[in-house]
Structure 1
Amino acid sequence: MKIMFIIPRMVGGGAERVISVLANEFVNRKIGVKILMTSGSDMAYKLDDRIEVIQIGERSGGSLWKRIIRIIRMRKVFRNNPGDILVAFEPTTAFFACLAKMGLKRKLVSSERNDPKSFENGKIREYAYRHSDKVVFQTKDAMMYFPEDIQKKGIIIANPITENLPEVYTGKRKHTVVAAGRLVEQKNHVNLFYAFRDFLHHYPDYVLHLYGQGELEQDLRELAEKLNIKESVIFEGFHENILNEIKDAGMYVLSSDYEGISNSLLEAMAMGMPVISTDCPSGGSKMCIQNGVNGILVPVAQSGALAAAMEKIASSEDFAIQIGKEATKVRDRFSMQNIVEQWIELLTEL
């Protein structure tokens, strides 16, 4: 079996991390793997040397001519690699793949990585998924958003937790709050900053470590200064592997307005960290968290509720330890072996 993953570029994001994890594991299982990058040369994750990376263009805009060129180049790659099963992450890429493979009898699996209600281009999404052989969703809520004909092609496969996690931390936790993700509007770090400001009124010795890069970094720096929390917020930038750095953090917070299944949330739980997440569409967080048992769910964009959840963890070491201990059970539920086997079973049946 030969697999070709298709993605615009391998930047430091959740979908890209999942591709890197699956690709590395597939080649270890003697499955041929290529990664086709359609819009850039970024490579944020380490790949096995046996994985062939194909680049067909630099980062580009959305003009019609550039899109046509991209489709022509994709088609040429498909023709030169007969027998590859195509796996497209990102709906526009899946749409281009549908057009590029016309008449070539290629199998195509599209993968929905986020909340479909939160994006435009709904017609492009539906066209791509209708013309795919299978569609992988992370959550049931995401799959149920689509018409019945697409749901019939759908299968739910969660994100895998990497196997090289550090041991569960059992020592005394630092007075730190960790958030990890791209600095973009979706992640709603603005809500987190307001919540953290209120939290600091009661727990002034805590520090917020923000991991990630993105277009809103300067805006967030200015907001931190405006809220007088600048000295308590550290912008850490992008780190490929932050787990050893954050394993002893006091808590992890996901403040997104919408999300699939957050890789960083899963990893924080697997590390035994007390976690807080917004109960955001398309239901990824509530798949992972049983509220009050292995973490805390809060309403989207409500800084007061988020601040209260942070205070609950900071005020009770026993509660923090208990939910952290329960959180580690995601290691089995979302294990690399379980998730990879589901992908292989899907691809083998095509």
Structure 2
Amino acid sequence: MKIRFLVFDIYGMGGTVRTVLNVTNYLAQSGYDVEIISVFRYRKVPFFEIDPRIKIIVLHDVASRRKDDTSLKTKTANKLAKMKSRLIHPDDEGYHFFSLLTDIKLYNFLKTISSGILVTTRPSFNIFASKYANKEVRIIGQEHLNFSIYPENMKKSILKHYGKLDYLATLTDEDTMDYTQLLKGGKVKVKKITNSIPNLQGVISPLDSKTIIAAGRLVPQKGFDLLIEAFKIVNQQYPDWKLKIFGDGREKNNLQDLITKYKLYNHVILMGSTQHIDIELSKASIYALSSRFEGFGMVIVEAMQCGVPVVSFDCPKGPSEIIAQNEDGVLVEDGNVEKFAESLMELMGNADKRKYFAKNGIDNVKRYEIENIGKIWEETINENLYNTNNQPVNSLV
């Protein structure tokens, strides 16, 4: 039985790529036949390590495209690539990357899959597969955000098509309850399968560095502008501390302008991306999560794994499920920049509290280790060997 994961770009960086590879690497090491279908490839070398036993299929290889190719096939492809996608939902965050060309490639490839399990990793892929995948293929859709976050048209499409999935994997208890209620009446089974953390490569932080760390795509969702606003307050009392923000994205110039505006250029540093955030975490004393919303907050778990206490906005929907308030971290009223600054300063000035949080956090996040989450995936795969009447699915046995 082949298990296929459909992703945007497995060669890129980001939380979805990292967590997909945690799972697929585990499954490959456990003897499963795993294949990753990457719609795009923008890098020649993958950002994260991929188990060599995993077969990678790239549908649209941008990284290897030859600019001097003037063949009719290439000219036709280039023309199609300039036309808007008609099959990817227009509310998809990455809609502008898709085109009529990627529609054709994705649709044609999907039609070649006649058996096995297909795991789809974003709403537009969940919808796409529910509409166009062959009936013999079992579909496990992954949902990384709470339903309330989406625009109205995406909500309508989710309600219309998610019920046709076989499984919907959600990240939090609240999401599981919400989607179960929303999709009742469809054949889909909603099941909580949280993201997992890989084995730690760095060391546990000694918590003696005057460094706060944050990481993620430089996009409005991650709220790094709010974090810089908070650090402006912090810097007045703790001028010897630094804030390091890891990641790349379209907000980089705006964030740099904000740093310059507040004259924080010696204190707030945009570090770019890193393959090994755990190594960087081991050099920090506090992790700050300033997101406006999160699907889960995987980096919270990674920080705790490295013994770094977390200050996080209590944004929808993941942080409150991970952090035990004032036991292994601090949840701050959503969007309250002044309170966020106060919570940072309280930890900055209290080494014993940092160590207390760190010790509890290390124990807390063992539940997210890949050995535990991997077993849930194996159970889900085995459940998909049978249909609702407990009869073997012919194409899978």
Same fold (TM over 0.5): yes
3-state SS of the aligned residue for 2:17? helix
Give the Cα–Cα distance (whole angstroms) in 1 for the partners of residues 32 and 258 of structure 2: 48
Shift of 1:16: 1.3
Are 1:16 and 2:36 counterparts? Answer: no
CA distance in 1, matches of 2:17, 2:376: 19
Alignment match of 1:143 (pick from 166, 170, 176) = 176
- 1:261-308 deviations in whole A, cap 9, x for unaligned? 2221111001111111111112x1111111100000011211101101
- Gaps spanning 5+ residues in structure 2: where? 63-80, 88-97, 385-397
One of 56, 59, 69 as aligned partner of 1:56: 59
Deviation at 1:146, TM superposition (A): 3.2
- CA gap of 1:62–1:344, structure 2 versus 1, over 3 A, is farther
Aligned to 2:162: 129
Q: Is the 8 A contact 2:85 2:103 kept in 1?
A: no
1:194-213 CA-to-partner distances (Å, cap 9, x unmatched) read 10010111101011100000
Please state if 1:164 is matched with 2:230.
Answer: no
Tell me which of 271, 274, 283 is aligned to 1:248.
283
Per-residue CA deviations over 1:29-75 (Å, capped at 9, x if unaligned) read 11011111224444432211111111222676743277665454334
Structure 1 unmatched runs, 5+: none
- Superposed, 1:68-79 pairs within 5 Å as 70-79=102-111
2:99, 2:129 → 1: CA distance?
11
Structure 2 counterpart of 1:50, which letter?
R
- Partner SS, residue 38 of structure 1: strand
Match of 1:224 among 226, 238, 259: 259
Aligned pairs (5 A) from 1:171-320: 171-282=206-317, 284-320=318-354
SS at match of 1:179: strand
Q: Residue 145 of structure 2: which of 114, 135, 156 is its match?
A: 114
8 Å CA contact 2:284, 2:308 repeated in 1: yes
Tell me the CA shift for residue 260 of structure 1.
Answer: 1.7
TM-score of the pair, normalised by structure 2: 0.82
Normalized against structure 1, the TM-score is what? Answer: 0.93
Structure 1 counterpart of 2:321, which letter? M
Q: Which amino acid aligns with 1:54?
A: I
Q: How many aligned positions are there?
A: 347
- The Cα of 1:243 is off from its aligned counterpart by 1.5
Distance in 1 between the 2:353 and 2:33 partners? 46
RMSD: 2.0
Which residue in the other structure is 1:84 paired with?
A: 116
1:24 and 1:138 mapped to 2: Cα distance?
19
In 1, the alpha carbon distance for the partners of 2:265 and 2:177 equals: 42
Distance 1:148 1:44 in 2: 38
Whole-Å separation in 2 of the counterparts to 1:72 and 1:347: 29
User: Contact 1:85–1:108 at 8 Å: present in 2 too?
Assistant: yes
Q: Distance in 2 between matches of 1:181 and 1:57?
A: 25
Q: Deviations over 1:307-331 (max 9, x none)?
A: 0110110111111110111010134
Q: Is the 8 A contact 1:193 1:224 kept in 2?
A: yes
Query: For residue 60 of structure 2, what is the amino acid of its counterpart?
Result: G
Within the candidate set 30, 44, 49, 1:46 is matched to 49
Return the letter of the residue paired with 1:76: N
In the alignment, is the contact (CA less than 8 A) between 1:174 and 1:248 conserved in 2?
A: yes
Q: Is the 8 A contact 2:207 2:355 kept in 1?
A: no
Matched-pair contact (CA < 8 Å) for 1:91–1:124: no
> Is the Cα contact below 8 Å between 2:210 and 2:242 reproduced in 1?
yes
The counterpart of 2:376, out of the listed 319, 322, 342, is 342
CA positional deviation for 1:159: 1.1
**CA separation of 1:255/1:149 partners in 2, compared to 1, >3 Å: closer, same or farther?**
closer
The CA deviation at 1:84 is: 2.5
Distance 2:165 2:255 in 1: 39
Alpha-carbon distance, 1:119 to partner: 2.1
1:195, 1:276 → 2: CA distance? 12
Q: Which amino acid aligns with 1:146?
A: Y
Q: Which amino acid aligns with 2:21?
A: S
Matches of 1:202 and 1:26, distance apart in 2 = 49
CA distance in 2, matches of 1:69, 1:332: 43
Instruction: Tell me if the contact between 1:2 and 1:31 (Cα under 8 Å) persists in the aligned partners.
Output: yes
SS at match of 2:240: coil
Counterpart of 1:22, as a letter, is V
